[in-house]
Amino acid sequence: MPKFTNKLADESSPYLLQHAHNPVNWYPWGEEALQRAKEEDKPVLVSIGYSACHWCHVMEHESYEDTGVAKVMNENFVCIKVDREERPDVDQVYMNAAYLVNGNGGWPLNALAMPDGRPFFAGTYFPKENWIKLLEYFTDLYKNQKQKLEGRRCDQRHNADCEPASGEQH
């Protein structure tokens, strides 16, 4: 019997099933996860990959299987795992954000978003120590200066600096 089981255990995607026993409390993409984020006022962490992705497996082993990393993720984010082959529409939204923030993209694609799913940060593979620092940084920013994140728009209508939405000041 596995030590951990999350909401991915009921999914059909082989990629999502690979993460069903991570200590991260993964949700599949859907209204349940976004509703939980809104109710708990937590940002969303969207992690997108696919079964044959080497770096997806590396990040899973280094970070998503680690109970300490999972604790940071579970306490501060609603975590959503997406199979890019099943949800290319979701992948495209967050890949656009990665290109606008960093000028590049790839997988695993890790995006941080407001509870309604609007991204404010996106990147690809992060070594464990960098991943923890990034999560802690954005957790602090969300809790103490949320307005800075609410004003950021990482979509194709704005530049790589994730400009504030029209009419908002820097």
Residues 75 and 133 sit within 8 Å (Cβ to Cβ): no
pLDDT score for 152: 66
Beta-carbon count within 10 A of 53 CB: 19
Sequence spans of domains, the chain = 7-150
In tens, the pLDDT along 116-152 reads 999 999 999 999 999 999 999 999 999 999 888 887 6
CA angle 21, 22, 25 (to 5 degrees): 100
In tens, the pLDDT along 30-60 reads 999 999 999 999 999 999 999 999 999 999 9
Tell me which CATH homologous superfamily contains domain 7-150: Glutaredoxin (3.40.30.10)
Residues 31 and 24 sit within 8 Å (Cβ to Cβ): no
Amino acid at 3: K
What's this model's pTM, rounded to 2 decimal places? 0.87
